[in-house]
Structure 1
Amino acid sequence: MDRRRVWALTGATVALVTAGGVTVAVRASDQRPASVAASPSAVRVVLPGKPGESAAVSDSDHVRAPDGSPYNSIDVTYAQMMIAHHRQAVQMAKLAPERAGSAQLRSLAERIVAGQGPEIAVLQAWLSERGQPENDPDHDHSGMPGMQSAAALAELTSARGADFDHRFVTMMTEHHEGAQQMAADLLRGGSDERLNELANETAVEQMSEIHRMADLGL
């Protein structure tokens, strides 16, 4: 995957470029040992037990992956919701080969599929490694930032040529901006360094794609 690794992590902060061109500084992953008391903002989470064992309840600040790395409920929610978010982007992008009038837009759509498909697999593996479900029935995916309605998707599916191109650029730009908002939320409150890095990469890559779509003038 052709990924621009232009993000930078430091011991204290990480910078995320948002859709408006503003640089927001947020805390890097919390590496506090499990023995340290939970912060006031910690939430209670359920930890699946081994086969035959009961589940346990712990503070989100104290949860650790099998490799010992810390993660919290914000990390889990981000992974679950971003899977659904990416799937919709891939769904939209796969419409382009037979509907787009612009060859450049078809190329960009292919890039989106090639980039976000593997990211879905990474997020699925992250959840599986921690015994977390891919879907949470309490999450309303339709309310996620940038998610497009079923009606809008139906109209996009029916469109062809220049009409499709304009709708696609408008909808995918909103979708990418929503993903950047979700990434910023994760970077402010998540604990998992691996997800921090992935969220930063996602935000930077999608900013690049927003600029590419704007440059198409569609």
Structure 2
Amino acid sequence: MHRQNRRRWWTLGGVALVLVATTGGVVAARSGEDGSASAPRPGTSASAPPVTVLQPGRPGESAAVTDSDRVKPLEVPVYNKADVAFAQMMIAHHRQAIRMTGLAPERGSNAQLKSMADRMGLAQTIEIDVLKAWLTERRLPESDPSHNHATMPGMQTEAAIAALAAAEGADFDSRFVTMMTAHHEGARVMAGDVLRGGSDQRLNEMANEMAVEQASEIRRMRDLNVT
């Protein structure tokens, strides 16, 4: 978390400066002899002239000294309906996947498959937490009653989930790979939708990483040759 009002001392052209970290740059105020930042002089206007700031550079680049009126304000993150729908619906989508992976330790027989299921469940639990936090930050509900979760790409029917829960050994392994492959492919469709229509950078990055990882998991499940 970014910390406000973090002060550091620098010397610039023989003048002591106290740097106060802000979201747009680092304000450099001239200091008095006692080391404290000098206050505005009596009778001066509240709208003071630009002050010297130290603006961080890009990774690998040096910081630059400039005037505060030349620092561009940070853009307010924007999002749209596609972002909100993705976050809300992917929570429900992931929860079904977690139900499926939770069956593997007791019902499955392939050690590699059970290990993969454990990693999938953990990863999707973390992603749910991220999506819930994203919605909470924007004071948005976790779900929308207008969404029909059963029609989401890759969602499995309750009958199919019940059959998976009743299966054991090689039968479970085969059903799991078939169902989870379809589930992953559906999640990748949803990720593609938000990548094309969404506006939020964080969700864009998350959806891209999700699509890549789930494509890799599909390949690894198929390599098990349990179907």
Q: How far apart, in 2, do the equivalents of 1:200 and 1:117 lie?
A: 17
Q: In structure 2, how many angstroms separate the alpha carbons of the residues matched to 1:113 and 1:183?
A: 18
Question: Which secondary structure state, in structure 2, belongs to the residue aligned with residue 162 of structure 1?
Answer: helix
The unaligned stretches of length 5 or more in structure 1 are: 1-66
Query: TM-score by structure 2 length?
Result: 0.66
1:209 aligns with 2:220: no
Could you say which structure has the greater relative contact order, defined with CA pairs below 8 angstroms and 6 or more residues apart?
1
Partner of 1:48: none
- Separation in 2 of the partners of 1:157 and 1:83? 21
**Residue equivalent to 2:106:** 98
* TM-fit CA distance, 1:121: 0.2
Partner of 1:179: 187
Pick from 69, 75, 92: which aligns with 2:77?
69
Aligned to 1:124: 132
Q: Paired residue for 1:61?
A: none
Return the alpha-carbon distance in structure 2 between the equivalents of residues 160 and 139 of structure 1.
Answer: 33
**Alignment partner for residue 140 of structure 1, among 148, 152, 156?**
148
Pairing partner for 1:168 from 173, 176, 199: 176
Code of the residue aligned with 1:95 in structure 2: it is: L
User: Which amino acid is the alignment partner of residue 170 of structure 1?
Assistant: T
C-alpha distance in 1 between matches for 2:80 and 2:223: 39
- Distance in 2 (CA, whole Å) between partners of 1:83 and 1:114 is 14
- Aligned counterpart, 1:35: none
How far is the alpha carbon of 1:68 from its aligned partner?
A: 1.7
Pair member with larger Rg: 2
Tell me, in whole angstroms, the C-alpha distance in 2 between the residues paired with 1:156 and 1:129: 37
Q: Distance in 1 between matches of 2:220 and 2:95?
A: 21
Q: Deviations over 1:75-113 (max 9, x none)?
A: 000000000000100110010000001001000000101
Q: CA deviation at 1:114?
A: 1.3
SS in 2 for 1:85: helix
User: Aligned partner of 1:138: which letter?
Assistant: S
Task: Find the residue that maps to 1:182 and give its secondary structure.
Answer: helix
C-alpha distance in 1, partners of 2:99/2:179? 12
**Separation of aligned partners in 2, 1:210 and 1:111:** 13
1:192 pairs with 2:200? yes
What's the Cα RMSD here?
Answer: 0.8
Distance in structure 2 (CA, Å) of the matches to 1:161 and 1:121: 32
Gaps of 5+ in 2: 1-74
Identity %: 64
Aligned to 2:17: none
| TM-score, L = length of structure 1 | 0.69
Instruction: Give the distance between the partners of 1:178 and 1:125, measured in 2 at CA.
Output: 23
Amino acid at match of 2:185: E
Report what 1:156 is aligned to.
Answer: 164
Deviation track 1:141-170 (CA, whole Å, cap 9, x = no partner) reads: 010000000000000000000000000000
Q: Secondary structure at the match of 1:134?
A: coil
